């Protein structure tokens, strides 16, 4: 509840999020998952079986997917992609590999977690989720990583366009 309260009702209206469904042992197409955003249904589904720190991150991660869908015009994939080193390539999909971890990367090189390396959408959602759940960690990381610093600035601009009073 404390993490949901970080968003105003107006914020949820602007991003068009209407429903948050809690369930245990969530699977999407038979694949165990921690959360899922369904923008068409204005819903996020969260797996209550995950540990508390992951649950908080997944909540914010899925909220960002709703933001992304609601404000596509403000999210510029090429701008985001161009922030990465020239030799980096995202995967074809977020489930194309089993090597993606949700844990923080210590030598980030522009990415906050291994999962952020899967797709642009997941990179943005992972960056936002860490900004919302452990901003001090993010501040420490961006002090050592110019790419991640630029990504967090882009996320801040996106969110400030929705709600200028939003706090990270």
Rounded Cα gap, residues 143 and 137, in angstroms? 10
- The predicted pLDDT at position 59 comes to 96
- The predicted pLDDT at position 71 comes to 82
Identify which of 29, 61, 35 has the alpha carbon closest to the alpha carbon of residue 50.
35
Question: Would you say the pTM of this structure is higher than 0.85?
Answer: yes
Rounded Cα gap, residues 46 and 65, in angstroms? 13
Rg (CA), the chain: 15
The residue assigned the tokens 């909540």 is 59
Q: Per-block average pLDDT, block size 10, for the chain (168 residues)?
A: 94 96 91 91 93 88 94 73 92 69 78 92 95 95 95 94 92
- The predicted pLDDT at position 160 comes to 93
Contact 129, 62 (CB under 8 A): no
A 10 A CB-CB count for 12 gives: 17
């Amino acid at each position: 509840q404390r993490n949901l309260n970080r968003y105003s009702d107006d914020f949820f209206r602007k991003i068009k999020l209407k429903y948050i469904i809690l369930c245990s042992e969530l699977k999407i197409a038979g694949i165990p998952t921690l959360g899922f955003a369904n923008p068409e249904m204005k819903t996020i589904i969260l797996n209550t079986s995950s540990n508390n720190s992951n649950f908080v991150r997944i909540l914010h991660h899925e909220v960002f997917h709703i933001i992304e869908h609601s404000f596509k015009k403000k999210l510029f994939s090429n701008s985001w992609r161009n922030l990465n080193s020239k030799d980096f390539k995202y995967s074809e999909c977020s489930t194309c590999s089993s090597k993606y971890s949700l844990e923080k990367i210590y030598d980030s090189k522009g990415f906050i977690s291994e999962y952020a390396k899967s797709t642009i959408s997941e990179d943005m959602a992972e960056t936002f989720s860490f900004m919302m759940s452990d901003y001090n960690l993010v501040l420490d990381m961006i002090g050592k990583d110019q790419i991640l610093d630029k990504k967090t600035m882009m996320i801040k601009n996106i969110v400030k366009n929705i709600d200028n009073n939003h706090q990270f």
